[in-house]
Structures are given as C-alpha cells and as structure tokens.
Structure 1
Amino acid sequence: MILTMLMFVSCEARQLWERAPEDGKLEGKVVQVHVVHGSGHAEPPACYPGDPHARAAVWKHGPGELTQHGRRQGFHFGENLRSRYLNLLPKERTYKYVKATSAKTTRYQMTSSVILAGLLSPKGDDIWSTVPWQPAVVNTDDILAKPKCDRLEQLQKELKYEIDSEQLYYYVSVNAKTSVKDPKEMLEIFTCLETQKQAGLALPAWTRGFFYQMKREAAKTFRYDNEVSRLEVGRILDTITKFNFSDKDNRINLYCTDSVTVGALMAALKLNQTESPNFLSAFVVEIRELEGWLHAQLWYRSGPNDELARMDWPDCGARCPLVKLRALLDPLIPKNWQKECALDQHKNNSANIMHLTLFLLTFLFVYVATASCNRIYEFMNDMKTRNKRSKKTLV
C-alpha cells in the first residue's frame, strides 16, 4: 500500500515551497524548526440531522480516520518541508535530525507517518529497497492530547462570543435541524461541510450564499483571554519558542495535533484570523542564528493548499530576539499547569480573597467606629468644660 501511495503521489506535478531565506545580514541561518500542524483530511461523522452525505460512498475508513486524500496531503506537506529546509538536513541519515511527536489518536499518528515519508525520502546508503521510503519514529506526548483541565473547562463554558448576525445562526439552525448558538458550534458545522467539500461532495443547497459567512463566523472561535490560552496551549508555546541546546540535533521538530490547537496558538498571540484553521494548517517557529544571537521567526498557513506566510510577533516584529520573546510570552506559560488546572486551587484563591475583603471591611468599620466614638467623647468632654465655665461666669 505504501508503494502504491508513493507512486501515485510522485505522479502529481505540484510546485514545492521555496527554500527558507538565509543570509548573514538580516535573516540569519535556520538552526532549529518547530512545526505545530493539524492532521490531513479525515472522514467526518454525520454533520447534522438529515446530512445527505453522512453515508456517501467516499467514506470508507470510518469517522475520524485519515482518508486517501488526507494521506496525499500529508505526504505533500512533508515534501514541502524537505524543500524549504534542505540546508538544515544532511544528505543521509536524515531521520536522526527530525523528531515527530503526535497526539495519540490514530489519524494524527498516521498523518505524522506520511509527512515523514515525504520529508525523509532516502538518498545514497539510506536506500534499502525499491520503495522510496525509510522508517522513522513517531513519538506521543500528553501536551498534544488535550489532557483534562477542570479550570480550562470552566473558563470555556463561561466564554462569551461576539455575534454579528443572529439571522445567520437562526438560518443555519433551521436548515441543519440542530441548535447553533455561538462560533464554536458554527465551527463544528462548517468544518464538517468543508471536509465534505474537499472530498468532492456537493455542498447542500441551503449553504449557497452563506458558506463564506459561516466560515468567517467560525473563525471567531479563536478569540479568548490569556488564562484560557495559558492553560490550553501555554505548555506548547513554552516548548516551541526556545532553543534546545541539549538536544540540538533535533533540527526539525513536528507536532501533530488538531487544527483547533493551531488556531488556539494564533489566538494566544492575538493574531485574529478571518478563517479558521483547516486540515494541515501549520504554526511554524524558526529559530535562527545571526552573528551569535538567536532570534525567532513565525510563519503560518491556514490550510493544505496555502503557502507559508510570515507573521509578526506581537510587540516584537518579524525577527524577535529569543530572550525578548521568552519575556513577552511569560504570562502565557504556566508555572505549574496541574496546579493551575485544579478548581480547588481557584476556589481557595477566591475564598482567600473573600476572607481578606471581609477582614479589611471589618477593620475599616472598627476604625471608623472607634474614630467616631473618640470624636463623640471629645465633644462631650468639651461640652462639659464649657458648661462649667458658664456656671463660673454666672456666679
């Protein structure tokens, strides 16, 4: 099967990305890359009650599983990475310089595998058979698996979204025969429709004239405050924005997760997008060295057919010194993620604040009451003194 897929992909004439710009004056030299990316095209569940494509013939692998189209997308993404970072990898034993990490779900691990197949095409002594492929390890990591965080769940339930068109939500709810109340629920419907569209299925008639409105509204999902960002993607930001001196041979680091996480990274930096991340969206951090100093560049693409676009780091520009970047991101990086996720911790903090407030109010009341009593006492003494003086005067 691998041979068939590789032969099929190799026949597709697709232009690859240009090599990463490098020089000794401005860009510097790429020394390490971190790529957080979504999975390839995957089979959706039924989008909504009465979905006409829920059992279409193109769905052969089961809900949530990587499709043939998704495998080709992943392989081509790997080819693009190899083309862009050709200077970063040696001609042989390339697998030693690439570290792939994935969430534990099957489609993410399979996406990582096909990306590595495109990225690590064997050369020279690495060629071991007629199959243009070499084995490579895919690791798993809990920070990509969305482990349970009670505080994050509470904050997400309390999120309030900005909604521009109540009419759009009503229209989608009526036609989809399911309640759609906010951008997050709109994102679920839109993602499912986009998945069907990429599979070559016709969009339902009711979406005509509204599909791109739904697309823009779904993108509002990725706008929230620092605490949500810190708990959702803070640990990932911590990992991908520092140069690992102890493990510098890992020149290309890949992290396969869902597209929501890619959108959350953009939201953490307040880089609001007009469309939500699609399949194989990518958040790319390039660590570069220029005259002995390290700086970071940020690149992004929203979907499988997009080029990488350079982004500015907030308050730091396109080429941000690594030390400054770490300082700017400090509020988004949790010091103790598990402790911050515990609701008891936040209840205790709230209780402590309440106790302190009560103490201060009590102190203020006692202080005011004491001061008032002293003023009254002084006033009474003053009156007594005046009365005595008046009596002496009369005598």
Structure 2
Amino acid sequence: MKLLITKVNILVILVVYISRDTTAEIIEDLDSLQLVTVLHRHGHRTPDHTYTNDPYKDVEKYWPIGLGQLTNKGKLQLYNLGKLFRKEYKSFLPKYSFKAVRVNSSDYDRTHMSTQCLLAGWFRPEGDQIWNDEIAWQPIAVHSVPTNKDQTLAPLAPCPRFWMEREKVLMELASKETAEDKELYEYLTEKSGDKISTIDDVASLYTNLQMEEFNHYPLPEWTKGVYPEKMQEKTETCGISFTWNKILKKFYGGSLVKEMFHQFHEKSKGGNADRKLFVYSAHDTTIISFLRALDFEKFKIPDFGASVILELHKLYNQYYLKIFYSHAAELVPYELQFPNCTIPCPLERALENTEYVRSGDWNTDCFK
C-alpha cells in the first residue's frame, strides 16, 4: 500500500514510528501482494434509539429515514473510501470478479448499505460489465448471518461464558468508581429521564447525543459540562470492556482474527488461488475488538468509515503481513507495526502471536 502510507494525517489517534528494514523496502518495490483484507466501519448514521427526555424523539419528524440508518453523508463517505481503494489496488484487482472478491457484513441495514457504497466506488463497471448506460454501478453480493448467530462481526451469538466474564469486569470497574462518577450517573438520570447507573448506560446516551450533534441538531442545555468530555471516558471504557482481558479478547475479537488468519494461512499453502480480496463491513466495537485481539491497546472509538487493511505478501517463498489503519473515512490509512513483530511481520510469527485468541471452538468454549 505504497500510496496510502505516503501521507500521515496529524489528526490520527496513534502515531507509530516505522523503522523500515530491507524486507520492508523490497516489498514496497516488488509485485509481492497476494491477498487484501479490509475491515471497515459503516458510515455516518442516525441515532439507533431515543431517550425519555429527548427533544428529538419524534422519529417521523426528526429522523424520517429511520433510526440507526445510513445518511447521505455516510453513503458518500464509503463511496469515496471505495474510490481510494480502487486507485490503490487497481493493478492488483483491475475489476470485480466473484471468484476474486468476497464481501461479508453484519446483519444491519447501515452496514449492508455502507459496504454497497464502498463497492460502488471501488468496482465501477467497465467493458462487458456495463449493463446499463444510465448508471455506473454493478450489483455485488454481500453475505451475512442473522445477529443471533453472528460470531465475528457483531458477536451476539449465545455465549454465556463471555457475558459472565464481562459482568465480572463491569463489577470490578464499578468497585473503583468515585463519588464524582456517582454524581455523573445521578445527573444524567435526572436530565435524560432514563436510569443511568453503568458505563453501558452512559455509552448508550453518549452515542445518542453524538448522533444528534453530528446531524446538526442543537443539544439540550443540560449537556454542557458533561458532554462530551465527562461522558467520553466512560464510553471509551465501555468500548474496550468487551476485550478487557485475554478471555474476552478470544470471544469478542478472536473469532474474526481466527477467520482472517485462516484465510492468510490457506493462501500461503496454495488454497483459494483465485481469491484476492475479503471485505468486512461492521461497527466501531468490531474494529476496537479486532485490534485489541491483536494486542493493539491504545485505540479510541473509531469514527465513521474507519478501516483496517491487512495485506499478505510473498517474497522469496516467504509470506509476510502488513497492517494499515485509518481512524475515519476522511483520513489516509497509515501503517502499523504488529506487536512483538517486525515490519513486515512474517506470517508464521503472526500466527504464533495470535494462537491463543484463535484457539478452541466458539460453540464448545462458550458453554464451558
């Protein structure tokens, strides 16, 4: 991804100094790319709920496209992101092929629509793919499973062990809360009209206020002094609480790591010969959990259209992984260094480093 790492936006939330070794330089210059995997967050959306004292809870008046839906701004964000990927990977993947491309989405309207917009920007039909002169677009299959069976992109498949472990984490965090924290909960309860007593409750209200702000609705006067600063810290803690320890990482981010790394391993062994691209459309928590399962610890809440890009390269019969990250659709992705590895990271080393989160079987381990 030579184009994408030539610029680093100063607004990114993580600054990484990249010390390039000889292998990294060679990979920059040779046609070594074998497989690309893109994980992206959906685009700008409407709130997915309202609260009791919400001045904008009249959905038909304020949110005519519906709650939790992709806005026009969100559509454009992902379309432009697709155009960026099209430019970057044009020589590697000049046009869409069902053999080369596999697209997966969580089972939400906004994630399905977001990745369709990304694909529209990436795979503009050319030549014999043009089926209608009135629209420069082609249909591309997007696959998903119901949310109650999803183990990877919005992991809500039944897993008692995960929820019991997370409840322990929440209790531990609650035991360390201060009088100021309790005052915040009481204030938010009084003003919102909803019971606010946990970091999950704060995160839910914070997200609602954030979506209203992003959609240019003035926030109530009572939010001044608590939003965003005082509520943001609790919301970020909520986001990482799903992968607070090794056990939680295995269940919430590990399943996606397991799936992706299996694809890299299969490719390195000669399997999936025609496959060149996997795309995953999901959520902010998906990206946080995936990165934390890889032992990246310092990431805040990804913005709309945030993306993680992984590349598998082959050099002198050895396989290497490179990873890039963008906090938002408008930011140029920049290269990261896998924890406990070099740039690029040998695939075998990456497999060793992620062995724990990839091990076991979800359906068995969840009910131990």
Structure 1 unaligned runs (5+)? 1-16, 346-395
Q: Which amino acid is 2:246 matched to?
A: N
Counterpart residue number, 2:138: 134
Q: Any idea what the Cα deviations from partners look like across 1:8-35, whole Å, max 9, x if unmatched?
A: xxxxxxxxx9456797625463321112
Q: 1:35 aligns with which of 29, 33, 38?
A: 38
| Alpha-carbon shift at residue 171 of structure 1 (Å) | 3.9
Counterpart residue number, 2:293: 268
| Structure 1 residues 321 and 173, CA gap change in structure 2 (3 angstroms) | farther
Q: How many percent of aligned residue pairs carry the same amino acid?
A: 23
Q: Does the aligned pair in 2 maintain the 1:19–1:83 contact within 8 Å?
A: no
In the alignment of these two chains, the number of paired residues is 326
Counterpart residue number, 2:13: none
Q: Which amino acid is 2:253 matched to?
A: V
Q: Which amino acid is 1:110 matched to?
A: M
Q: Does the aligned pair in 2 maintain the 1:48–1:178 contact within 8 Å?
A: yes
Q: 1:219 aligns with which of 236, 245, 256?
A: 236
| Structure 1 residues 171 and 268, CA gap change in structure 2 (3 angstroms) | farther
Cα distance in 1 between the residues matched to 2:167 and 2:75: 35
Query: Which of structure 1's runs of 4+ aligned residues deviate more than 6 A?
Result: 20-23
Q: 1:152 aligns with which of 159, 162, 168?
A: 162
Alignment of 1:187-198 (within 5 A): 187-198=203-214
Q: 2:360 aligns with which of 325, 332, 335?
A: 335
Q: Does the aligned pair in 2 maintain the 1:41–1:66 contact within 8 Å?
A: yes
Q: 1:315 aligns with which of 337, 340, 348?
A: 340
Counterpart residue number, 2:116: 113
What TM-score, normalized to structure 2?
0.79
Q: Does the aligned pair in 2 maintain the 1:43–1:63 contact within 8 Å?
A: yes
Q: Any idea what the Cα deviations from partners look like across 1:215-239, whole Å, max 9, x if unmatched?
A: 2331122140011111112121012
Cα distance in 1 between the residues matched to 2:300 and 2:96: 39
Q: Does the aligned pair in 1 maintain the 2:27–2:313 contact within 8 Å?
A: no
Q: Which amino acid is 2:88 matched to?
A: R
Cα distance in 1 between the residues matched to 2:210 and 2:283: 15
| Structure 1 residues 177 and 310, CA gap change in structure 2 (3 angstroms) | farther
| Structure 1 residues 285 and 93, CA gap change in structure 2 (3 angstroms) | closer
Greater helix proportion:
1
| Alpha-carbon shift at residue 145 of structure 1 (Å) | 4.6
Q: Secondary structure at the match of 1:43?
A: coil
Cα distance in 1 between the residues matched to 2:203 and 2:289: 13
| Structure 1 residues 60 and 296, CA gap change in structure 2 (3 angstroms) | same
Q: Which amino acid is 2:195 matched to?
A: S
Counterpart residue number, 2:275: 250
Cα distance in 2 between the residues matched to 1:299 and 1:312: 9
| Structure 1 residues 189 and 305, CA gap change in structure 2 (3 angstroms) | farther
Matched, 1:282 2:307: yes
Q: Secondary structure at the match of 2:310?
A: strand
| Alpha-carbon shift at residue 329 of structure 1 (Å) | 0.4
RMSD: 2.7
Counterpart residue number, 1:44: 47
Cα distance in 1 between the residues matched to 2:337 and 2:201: 30
Q: Any idea what the Cα deviations from partners look like across 1:299-323, whole Å, max 9, x if unmatched?
A: 2223333332322211114421110
Q: Any idea what the Cα deviations from partners look like across 1:31-76, whole Å, max 9, x if unmatched?
A: 2111222222232244422111222645122222323222222222
Q: Any idea what the Cα deviations from partners look like across 1:75-132, whole Å, max 9, x if unmatched?
A: 2222222123223212x44554221111223332222222211111112332222211
Q: Any idea what the Cα deviations from partners look like across 1:195-247, whole Å, max 9, x if unmatched?
A: 22222222333333431342233112214001111111212101223423222
Q: Secondary structure at the match of 2:216?
A: coil
Cα distance in 2 between the residues matched to 1:215 and 1:313: 27
Q: Which amino acid is 1:41 matched to?
A: H
Q: Secondary structure at the match of 1:310?
A: strand
Cα distance in 2 between the residues matched to 1:317 and 1:238: 21
Q: Which moved more, 1:319-328 or 1:31-40?
A: 31-40
Structure 2 unaligned runs (5+)? 7-22
| Structure 1 residues 114 and 266, CA gap change in structure 2 (3 angstroms) | same
Alignment of 1:287-306 (within 5 A): 287-306=312-331
Q: Secondary structure at the match of 1:140?
A: coil
Matched, 1:235 2:276: no
Counterpart residue number, 2:85: 81
Counterpart residue number, 1:25: 26
| Structure 1 residues 303 and 197, CA gap change in structure 2 (3 angstroms) | farther
Matched, 1:203 2:219: yes
Q: Does the aligned pair in 2 maintain the 1:155–1:228 contact within 8 Å?
A: yes
What TM-score, normalized to structure 1?
0.74
| Alpha-carbon shift at residue 181 of structure 1 (Å) | 3.5
